[in-house]
Amino acid sequence: MIRFVLDTSIFVNPDVRAKFGKTPTEAMKKFLEYAENLFGKVEFYMSPGIYREIMHFVDESEVSPDVELYIIKKPPNVHDIKIPAFVVYELIEDIRRRIDKGLRVAEKAVRESVLDTDNVDKIIQKLRRNYRKALREGIVDSKEDFELILLAKELDAIIVSADVGILTWAEKMGIKWVDAAKFKEVLDELVEKVGKS
């Protein structure tokens, strides 16, 4: 049985979602057509946190009851999953690098604001953007992201996400993954194989 653990980005990220539909609801409906065709051969999972995130964007009345039938909501078993110590070491080192990078971004903004006192608001906006990029890009930065990784590890499933942080940490932990931008093509191929069997 092939198992996929789905991330919010499949349905919410406009660049990724476009292959399935113009809106999150259209994207979910199209995905559910694939899930129906693959029922019994492929399982699709979401952690409860990811499911709640997605349902903020999707009109649930348009996707019920199929969403309940084809997407299994399951929290990871956080009490029994073992994480190698090297992952914690790498996380600590990554956080230290990011804090240092964030400090440099802040120092640069202070220097700019001293030299250009007329554009302080623009400098603050730039600081926020660069600081957020320095600290959050490429890292697992939410409980929901971490649940996704743990659930995939527990189920020996394939993560589907466009989030660079999730994919980076999945790779470090030896978890299989598919870039969400290519997920529709993967589903097309699976439907074709199931049709032949």
Domain identity same for 153 and 191: yes
Q: How does the average pLDDT of the chain come out, rounded?
A: 87
Across the range 5-20, mean pLDDT stands at: 94
- Helix, strand, coil percentages (3-state) for the chain, rounded to 5, are 65, 10, 25
pLDDT at 138: 66
Q: Do 70 and 17 fall into the same domain?
A: yes
Note down the domain range covering 94: 85-136
* Model confidence band, residue 136 (pLDDT cutoffs 50, 70, 90): low
Position with higher pLDDT, 139 vs 26: 26
AA identity, residue 156:
D
Residue percentage of the chain with pLDDT more than 90: 56
Mark whether 162 and 97 lie in a shared domain.
no
Domain count for the chain: 2
123, 112 Cβ separation under 8 angstroms: yes
Q: Which of 64, 41, 53 is nearest to 10 (CA)?
A: 53
Contact (Cβ atoms closer than 8 angstroms) between residue 5 and residue 160: yes
Same domain assignment for residues 90 and 112: yes
Looking at the structure, tell me whether residues 169 and 131 fall in a common domain: no
Place of tokens 């942080």: 165
Q: Is the pTM of this model over 0.75?
A: yes
- pLDDT tens figures, 77-134: 988 888 778 877 887 787 788 778 777 777 777 767 767 777 777 777 777 777 777 6
pLDDT at 127 (0 to 100): 77
6 and 62 part of one domain: yes
Residues 64 and 16 reside in one and the same domain:
yes
Q: Which of 56, 93, 99, 50 is nearest to 71 (CA)?
A: 50
Together in a domain, 157 and 76: yes
For residue 123 the two structure tokens come to 């400098």
